[in-house]
Structure 1
């Protein structure tokens, strides 16, 4: 019944080849700086999101993305949480300053 949500570090995420990244922060946070090619789907809208591809969810610290991952998994999406969120991200950032 209970299944643990898989998670990876930001370093592991950065090494992946073209992952589908969903940033679940609010729009103003996303505009302040996000991973290039990450799609913004705020947590409040995540239940309507669907994907046939595996997705990686990220937020500011990893807490909202963990909640989003549980919702997505319940909806049949193969999902992995990114531990540490954007606070741990050391890679390229689009918009804002990091």
Structure 2
């Protein structure tokens, strides 16, 4: 293998590691831990599923802001309050949590397993 192939392999490895490593400042919580936060007025609850998914099955007090709309609607959220994010499985909400973190939110929680884990 020549040097260019090694550089290419290293770049791919770094990309994959960054993609799947947890982001600092994002806490993964259980559905039970999310439920325990429902009475806290300083917590914002965001469901990033599609409007159809949300309509079919959602929990109050989660507000529906689909993942693809989040960058445009981020101003609806208070950067100084905790944000709890959920989706169906936890994958889209993890992306949303990263986006919030990169946008300056300091206290972001992702519900592990999403609505699929809700009991």
TM-score class, shorter-chain normalisation, is 0.7 to 0.9
Q: Greater helix share, 1 or 2?
A: 2
**Aligned length in residues:** 89
**What RMSD, in angstroms, separates the aligned Cα atoms of the two structures?**
1.4
TM-score by length of 2: 0.69
CA change 1:79–1:4 in 2 (3 A) is: closer
Q: Which has the higher contact order (CA 8 A, sep 6+)?
A: 1
TM-score by length of 1: 0.83
Matching of residue 82 in structure 1 with residue 107 in structure 2: no
> 8 Å contact 1:60–1:84 — kept in the other structure?
yes
After TM superposition, give the deviation of residue 3 of structure 1 in Å: 1.9
2:30 corresponds to: 9
- Give 1:66's match in structure 2, choosing from 83, 87, 94: 94
Runs of 4+ in 1 over 6 A off after TM superposition: none
CA distance in structure 1 between the partners assigned to 2:99 and 2:71 by the alignment:
6
Larger-gyration structure (1/2): 2
